[in-house]
Structure 1
Amino acid sequence: MIFSRTLLKRHSVLPGFDITLGFTLLYLSLIVLIPLSAAFLKTFTLTWPAFWEAVASPRVVASYRLTFGASFAAAVLNGFFGLVIAWVLVRYEFPGKRIIDALVDLPFALPTAVAGIALTAIYATNGWIGQYLAPLGIKVSFTPLGVFVALVFIGLPFVVRTLQPVLEDLHKEVEEAAATLGASRAQTFRRVIFPILMPALLTGFALAFARALGEYGSVIFIAGNMPMISEITPLLIITKLEQYDYAGATAIAVVMLVISFVMLLLINLLQAWARRRQGGN
């Protein structure tokens, strides 16, 4: 133990490890651990039948299905198109590139309520895009499809901004070397480029997925919030809070928290596997 502490201090570039570690743990406890613990403690006041009734009613299960399903599907779509957009912004020069690059950050800066209202107006049956989709039998606003569209909108920047630095560090000489060795373009991307991008792509996917799970402001405007159809779980939590059912709200929040943690843990494990595989190659 003494040797390990001496070795740690010997290799520390900056002093103050003990103070900064203590501050880090204190800050995380105040911001993350204590609020989450309060949610669990409030949930424990429920009996098991009351807890199960709160978290497993048909209305709540339908909201789980929509929230997690739409979040996962939106993150998958953002993973594909985010990679394409990041590739274009890094590898090519074209007129208006700076404007497009700035537009990627628009969902970051735009208030979620404004985004929800704008998407609803655009995709309504009389909106700019919705009026052309309605004759085809495609309705976006006030349907689960609207939830998916809103989650795609708010999640795209996470993938693009995560991939851009990795693509900028990926020199074209790597592709040229693969080409000189006889690799086709598809083989170069699949065996050389994609394994390098995989950890960053998974990170962007996880960030977009996590952001979508907790999204509320932009979704409630375009979803229609119809029970069993287009009602998301965060809205159910807000509804129970407005009804002063704090234990029921925290019970749903705890279930959502546990499922989210398990899914993000699996994504992080996959990301670590991809990095080890990349390092092994």
Structure 2
Amino acid sequence: MKGSRKASVLPGFGLSLGFTVLYLSLIVIIPLASVLIKTAGMSFTEFWAAVTNARVLAAYKLSFLTAFFAAAVNAVFGLLVAWVLVRYRFPGKRLIDSIVDLPFALPTAVAGIALTSIYAPTGWVGSLLEPLGLKIAYTPIGITIALVFIGLPFVVRTVQPVLQDLDKDVEEAAVMLGAYRWRTFRRVILPELIPPLLTGFALAFARGIGEYGSVVFISGNMPMRTEIAPLLIMTKLEQFDYAGATAIALVMLVISFSLLLLINYMQWRYSRRVQAG
């Protein structure tokens, strides 16, 4: 009929959008808003004192730095693992592919206990490193290793599908035109992998910032040295200092969201530049 509204290609958009907004509100927006509301009951002086305490600042620094370095390590070795799983055939490939997802299924407390038992001074690896003066457990290095363990699947599973979908004819054409393997990788393959690598880095970084179970055992929980921000929040809650806990959580939320927004913006800019070029 002339003048009638054009039917949508995908019917039910309004209903599905409503369910989506409702679901996100109940699961994400409302819980996060409660943190802001709880913190709003504090005066600015109280809020500033709670989030700029020397112990709190040390916990922030440790959490964000270890999460960043762990995500950076995973970006490199996650790419390597994904490359091996996609480009090569070897015995036990399916088993290794399944092991990659183990940190997803393994309870974080179990992972923390296992890593602590291995890297403690009396553990398998720790006992070998102790005579060399290297201490892993109860140090920031141990925390980073725990975050590498739980963050690796995020990078592998975001890069792996892109590698599988890459057109090998383009690589073969580059080689036939005289490009060396490294140049082919750098000019043909790597540009396609940067967006998923940034996504995997962001996911691993976000998971590392809020990780608690696998870190609390291996960190040693020493204030000003190996105390992570999530543990400090739990300590505040156990002391019934709900306002102080939500204040710390709010700062972590703002910083985490800003960093993730920056990473997504970099990914968007890079994708635009690649498409334009």
Matched, 1:180 2:176: yes
TM-score by length of 1: 0.95
- Distance in structure 2 (CA, Å) of the matches to 1:269 and 1:76: 18
Q: What is the RMSD of the two structures over their aligned residues, measured on CA atoms?
A: 1.3
Amino acid at match of 1:95: P
Matched, 1:50 2:46: yes
Q: Which runs of 4+ in 1 moved over 3 A?
A: none
**CA apart distance, 1:136:** 1.3
**CA apart distance, 1:80:** 0.2
Give the % identical residues: 66
Match of 1:102 in 2: 98
Match of 1:251 in 2: 247
- Distance in structure 2 (CA, Å) of the matches to 1:174 and 1:65: 44
Q: Equivalent residues in 2 for 1:264-275 (5 A)?
A: 264-275=260-271
Match of 1:75 in 2: 71
Match of 1:214 in 2: 210
After TM superposition, the structure 1 stretch with the greater mean CA deviation from structure 2, 183-192 or 107-116, is 183-192
TM-score by length of 2: 0.97
**CA apart distance, 1:180:** 1.6
- Distance in structure 1 (CA, Å) of the matches to 2:129 and 2:266: 38
Size of the alignment, in residue pairs? 275
- Distance in structure 2 (CA, Å) of the matches to 1:28 and 1:165: 27
Amino acid at match of 2:264: N
Matched, 1:141 2:137: yes
Q: Say which SS state the counterpart of residue 32 (structure 1) adopts.
A: helix
**CA apart distance, 1:95:** 1.1
Match of 1:20 in 2: 16
Match of 2:81 in 1: 85
**CA apart distance, 1:271:** 0.7
Match of 1:41 in 2: 37
**CA apart distance, 1:20:** 0.8
**CA apart distance, 1:193:** 0.5
Of the candidates 111, 119, 136, which is equivalent to residue 123 of structure 1? Answer: 119
- Distance in structure 2 (CA, Å) of the matches to 1:126 and 1:79: 31
Amino acid at match of 2:80: V
**CA apart distance, 1:214:** 0.9
Tell me, which stretches of 5 or more residues in structure 1 are unaligned?
A: none
Amino acid at match of 1:207: L
Of the candidates 178, 194, 197, which is equivalent to residue 190 of structure 2? Answer: 194
